[in-house]
Amino acid sequence: MKNYIKLFNFELGRFLKFYLILIAITIVSQITGVIVSSRSYLSDANEFIYVNQGSMESFLEQYGQMSMHNITRTLWFLGPIALCVVTLLIYIFFIWYRDWFGKNTFIYRLLMLPTARMNVYLAKASTIFLMVLGLISLQLVLIPIEGTILQSMVPVDFRLDMSIQEVIGSFDYFGILVPYSFTQFIIHYGIGFMAVFIVFTAILFERSFRLKGIVLGIVYIAISVVIFISPLLVDAFLVPNYFYAIELFVMEIVVGLLVIAGSIWMSNYLLNRKIRI
């Protein structure tokens, strides 16, 4: 346990610089987005009302009220989210491969530590999870701040204030990242973390058997996916509409846990018996 924490801490440290850059980009870009969007809205309003002598009502009719809704669809807002998502997806692979490649083969050190090799695996997985949750939290903190900036820039008559739920609801894909309910949270992140475990195992297949391992890894992913959706398949094809939604949900949780356990077991086996420097 102590070694797991040390390794976890170490893995966090290795990505920290990059991570802080991601955070900085997100903050700067989204806040810039709020300012830029608000300014351009206000200049539109100015032009409409003072230059073209239009009324405020007809302006609002034509342009609508300014709200976070206008902002969440800009590249300023979505760009950094996409960047973070892509970076973390790449990092799922990089967190392993970086130890094998280059002149400095750190994997020697990691595998020769007098501790269970699973600790290395779990430390890497925890790092990914914490990074993901960290970015989500950052977003949840940023939205109200951005709302406040918007309020300070746009007069109350021109704007529509939204709660954080409304902001999240204003944009479909966002609902995946920031679920409305605890159940949703479990589903989204349960599936997400399960996917990380499965991909980690596939990576270890590749690292153990190299070329042959790529095939094994893909097959492993396919099998895991089939097992995971098997209750849904059964419900859809074998005994249509036989189960209640709650029953399916519970079955999914059980199967999901089984897939995660299988992945951890398999990774443990590969790390101890098959892994290659």
Partner 1 sequence: MIEVKEITKKFGLKQVLKGVSFTANKGEITCLIGINGVGKTTIMNAIMNLTPINSGEILIDGEKLRKESYEKITFIPDAITMLPQMTIGDAMQFMKDFYKSWNQKRAAELLSFFKLKEDERISNLSKGNTAKVNLLLGLGLDVDYLLMDEPFSGIDIFSREQIADVFTSHLVEDRGVIITTHEINDIEHLIDKVVILDNGVVVKSFNAEGVRENEGKSVVDVMREVYKQ
Sites of contact with partner 1 (CB under 8 A): 3, 6, 10, 14, 102-106, 108-109, 111-117, 208, 272-277
Start-to-end Cα distance in the chain? 25
Least Å distance between CB 154 and partner 1? Answer: 45
102 versus 240: smaller Cβ distance to partner 1? 102
> Quick one: 156 or 277, whose CB is closer to partner 1?
277
State the minimum distance, in angstroms, from the CB of residue 88 to partner 1. 21
Closer CB to partner 1, 3 or 65, in the complex: 3
According to DSSP, the residues that pair with 66 across neighbouring strands are 159
The residue among 66 and 107 lying less far from partner 1, judged by its C-beta, is 107
Q: For the chain, how are helix, strand and coil distributed in percent, rounded to 5?
A: 80, 0, 15
Taking the complex as a whole, the smallest distance from the CB of residue 137 to partner 1 amounts, in Å, to 27
Spatial contact of 92 and 202, defined as CB atoms under 8 Å apart: no
Between residues 114 and 240, which has the closer beta carbon with respect to partner 1? 114
Distances (CA, A) of 142 to 68, 139, 160, 180, 221: 12, 5, 18, 17, 35
Q: Which is nearer to partner 1, 107 or 178 (CB)?
A: 107
Comparing CB distances to partner 1, the nearer of 100 and 173 is 100
CB of 117 to partner 1, least distance (A): 7
Instruction: Name the residue among 239, 128, 241 with its Cα closest to residue 193.
Output: 128
Residues in Cβ contact with 74 at an 8 Å cutoff, skipping those fewer than 6 apart? 33, 37
Alpha carbons 161 and 98: distance in angstroms, whole number: 46
Q: Which positions ≥6 away from 219 have C-beta within 8 Å?
A: none
| Residues 67, 77: Cα–Cα separation, whole Å | 13
Please classify residue 98 by burial: count the beta carbons closer than 10 Å to its beta carbon, then call 0-12 exposed, 13-18 middle and 19+ buried. middle
